[in-house]
């Protein structure tokens, strides 16, 4: 009887399936040691989250794949420096934003993709097909309003309010303290509240 040389079947983690807290610590430990399954589990669990952070930060769709790749490459090579595995998402958000900033530095022409004029339109296009016309209009209007605010305040607000990053994750992505982050989000909240009051 011929012996099969095919590799044994293995489980492939589902996308967005973040390991349980106990499993997360183990997965981070194992991934730091080079375990490919642990790395894939982390990747599958966090890739979309990283993409979301990058998109919110102004990454162009055409550069998302490269940025996600570079973010995970950096993460895998420096997982040992992650002191609290439970803060993995916040740490990844920080790495993602750093990759984005790094790319903006050495490829200045890509800044053009992040121009504010295009941003409002881009937000519309990023909504799910199931979104109603009313929601699309609201988001588009809010995106245009946010252009009047400081870029760092707007980014913090979008990450926290729209993309539902926790305060800790958002603070890490924006590389600011929790207190600063809360002030930034509060400024936009107040701005939008004022706008609602002033609207006819």
Partner 1 sequence: MTPHPPRPSAPPPFRPPLSDEQLDRVWERLADAPTSDSSLRSPWPTRLALGSALAAALVLGVLLVPRMLAPPALELAEGAALPPGARVSTVTTLSDGSQLAPEQLARVEVLRNAGGRFVARQSDGRCRYSVTPGGRRTWVIETPQATVEVLGTVFSVDARTTSVAISVERGRVRVRSRGASSQERLLEAGESWRIAETDEVPPAPGVPPAPLAAPPELSAAQVLARAEATLVTGGTDEAAQQLERWLERAPRDSDWSVVALRLGILELETRKAPAQALPWLERVSLGELEAPPSVLEDASALRVLALERMGRTPEARRAATAFEARWPRSAWLTSLRDRGETER
Q: How far is CA 118 from the centre of its chain?
A: 19
Q: Is 173 in the site for partner 1 (CB under 8 A)?
A: no
**Which of the ranges 24-32, 86-94, 147-155, 175-183 carries the binding residues for partner 1, by CB under 8 A?**
24-32
10, exposed or middle or buried, with CB in 10 Å at 0-12, 13-18, 19+? exposed
Q: Is 36 in the site for partner 1 (CB under 8 A)?
A: yes
Residues 156, 171: Cα–Cα separation, whole Å: 8
- The secondary structure of 68-109 as a DSSP string is HHHHHHHHHHHGGG-S-GGGHHHHHHHHHHHHHHHHHHH-GG
Q: Is 4 in the site for partner 1 (CB under 8 A)?
A: no
Q: Is 133 in the site for partner 1 (CB under 8 A)?
A: yes
The count of chain residues that interact with partner 1, using the rule CB under 8 A, is 76
Q: Are 165 and 62 in contact (CB under 8 A)?
A: no
Q: Is 137 in the site for partner 1 (CB under 8 A)?
A: yes
Q: Which of 68, 171 has the CB closer to partner 1? A: 68
Any idea what the Cα angle at residue 174 is, between residues 105 and 108, rounded to 5°?
Answer: 15
Q: Contact with partner 1 (CB under 8 A): which of 177, 189, 190, 194? A: 189
Residue 139 tokens read as 């988001």
Residues 65, 98: Cα–Cα separation, whole Å: 15
CB of 143 to partner 1, least distance (A): 9
Q: Are 23 and 84 in contact (CB under 8 A)?
A: no
Q: Contact with partner 1 (CB under 8 A): which of 3, 83, 130, 179? A: 130
Q: Is 91 in the site for partner 1 (CB under 8 A)?
A: no
Q: Is 100 in the site for partner 1 (CB under 8 A)?
A: no
Within positions 48 to 87, which residues make up the interface with partner 1, using CB under 8 A?
48, 51-52, 54-55, 64-65, 68-70, 72-74, 76-78, 80-81
CB of 81 to partner 1, least distance (A): 8
């Amino acid at each position: 009887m011929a012996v099969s040389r095919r590799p044994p079947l293995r489980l492939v983690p589902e996308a967005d399936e973040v390991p349980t807290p106990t499993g997360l610590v183990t997965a981070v430990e194992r991934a730091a040691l080079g375990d490919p399954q642990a790395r894939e589990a982390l990747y599958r669990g966090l890739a979309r989250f990283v993409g979301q952070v990058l998109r919110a930060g102004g990454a162009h769709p055409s550069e998302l794949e490269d940025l996600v790749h570079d973010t995970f490459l950096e993460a895998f090579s420096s997982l040992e420096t992650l002191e609290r595995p439970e803060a993995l998402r916040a740490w990844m958000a920080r790495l993602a934003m750093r990759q984005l900033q790094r790319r903006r530095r050495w490829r200045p022409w890509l800044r053009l993709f992040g121009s504010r004029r295009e941003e409002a339109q881009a937000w519309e296009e990023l909504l799910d097909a199931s979104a109603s016309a009313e929601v699309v209009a609201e988001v588009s209007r809010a995106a245009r309003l946010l252009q009047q605010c400081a870029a760092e305040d707007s980014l913090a607000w979008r990450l926290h309010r729209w993309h539902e990053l926790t305060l800790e994750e958002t603070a890490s992505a924006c590389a600011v303290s929790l207190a600063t982050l809360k002030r930034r989000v509060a400024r936009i909240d107040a701005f939008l509240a004022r706008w609602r009051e002033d609207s006819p």
